[in-house]
Amino acid sequence: MGVLVNRATRVLVQGITGREGSFHTLRMLEYGTNIVAGVTPGKGGRNVHGVPVYDSVEEALRNHPEINTSIIFVPARYAADAVYEALDAGIKEIVVITEHIPVHNTLKFVNYAKRLQAKIIGPNCPGIINPFDRVNVGIFPTSIFKPGSIGIVSRSGTLTYEIALSLTKHGLGQSTCIGIGGDPITGMDFIDIVKMFYMDPDTKGIVLIGEIGGDMEERFADYIKKHGIEKPIVAFIAGLTAPPGKRMGHAGAIISLGMGDALTKIRALEDAGIKVAKTPSQIAKMLKNELS
């Protein structure tokens, strides 16, 4: 039930002894996530909230071969090395929470992951949450999510929370919510995630949350034009009033050379047959209409 994470997910936390790593490890454990180990070089032998800490990913896997997912809270300067360490150890699903990773570093480890047939979520993202199985591999405020049939994929963390809460209040629970990150280069994109939602029998409708900058939404619209809509999709694009050339929050949220603005993205999605909400509050009603 849901995609990417479920009851079989066994999590390694890289950067577990840091302030963010420790804080969110406790939140994930309290929700029900099965965190079996953590890694911080030089801090091996400790434990954080009952989770054993190792000096390396390789050492953690020797002691816990069941690990299949890693979440990275390592500072930006060392985050790419942490991703490579997880990939080289054989972990096939990696959630990169860290922001401010240089784009060329991200490009390199994303391409490396593809060669190894591994999945990268992020960087600069809130992660993944599956309310059915109570698995939170990320930094989500878990109280706003309820089990249901709506899959959410988003570039914006804050908007994800707002829209998920609105859906929950309108009786539309979630199958999985995935924050793919707002950087110019990310691991998995809208196409990758929506294809997974199409294959998930428990996901009946999809919410796609985009924002200005880049061309991820336009590429998704092109994909839909070629392959069609298999399940109801309602989209929202943030940044309609953003001035061209001005960076707005995320590293990827910048309009330049006449590309990446909200209107262009909205037109592309609508031309592909996708309903686009004007405000976040409209999404629940529009989705209910699409599902009826």
Q: Going along 171-244, which residue ranges are E strands?
A: 174-179, 205-211, 233-238
- Confidence band for 246, pLDDT divided at 50, 70 and 90: low
Greater confidence (256 vs 131) lies with 131
The stretches of the chain forming alpha helices (DSSP H) are 19-31, 57-63, 76-88, 103-115, 157-169, 190-199, 216-227, 262-271, 283-291
% residues pLDDT > 70 (the chain):
93
Note the pLDDT of residue 42.
97
Can 250 be counted among the known catalytic residues? yes
Ordered structural domains, the chain, with CATH: 11-121 (3.40.50.720), 141-291 (3.40.50.261)
Q: Which of 37-46, 116-125, 184-193, 259-268 is predicted with the least confidence, judged by mean pLDDT?
A: 259-268
Q: What is the mean pLDDT of residues 51-70?
A: 98
Q: What is the mean pLDDT of residues 185-209?
A: 97
Q: Tell me: pLDDT of 196 over 90.
A: yes
Q: What is the mean pLDDT of residues 244-256?
A: 50
- State pLDDT tens for residues 8-40: 999 999 999 999 999 999 999 999 999 999 999
Q: What is the mean pLDDT of residues 256-265?
A: 72
**What is the Cα–Cα distance from 135 to 150, expressed in whole angstroms?**
16
From edge to edge, which strands make up the β-sheet containing 147-154?
135-138, 127-130, 174-179, 147-154, 205-211, 233-238, 275-277
**What is the Cα–Cα distance from 150 to 111, expressed in whole angstroms?**
30
CA dihedral 65, 28, 181, 171 (to 10 degrees): 120
Q: Which of 24, 64, 227, 250 is catalytic?
A: 250
Assess contact for 161 and 141: CB atoms under 8 A: yes
Neighbouring residues of 23: CB distance < 8 A, sequence distance ≥ 6 = none
Mapped onto helix, strand or coil, the DSSP state of residue 130 is: strand
Assess contact for 38 and 16: CB atoms under 8 A: yes
Quote the pTM value.
0.93
Residues paired with residue 154 on neighbouring β-strands, in sequence order: 179, 209
> What angle is formed at CA 114 by the lines to CA 185 and CA 57, rounded to 5 degrees?
95
Q: Tell me: pLDDT of 253 over 50.
A: no
Note the pLDDT of residue 274.
97
Residue of 158, 184, 161, 179 lying closest to 253 (CA atoms): 184
Note the pLDDT of residue 244.
56
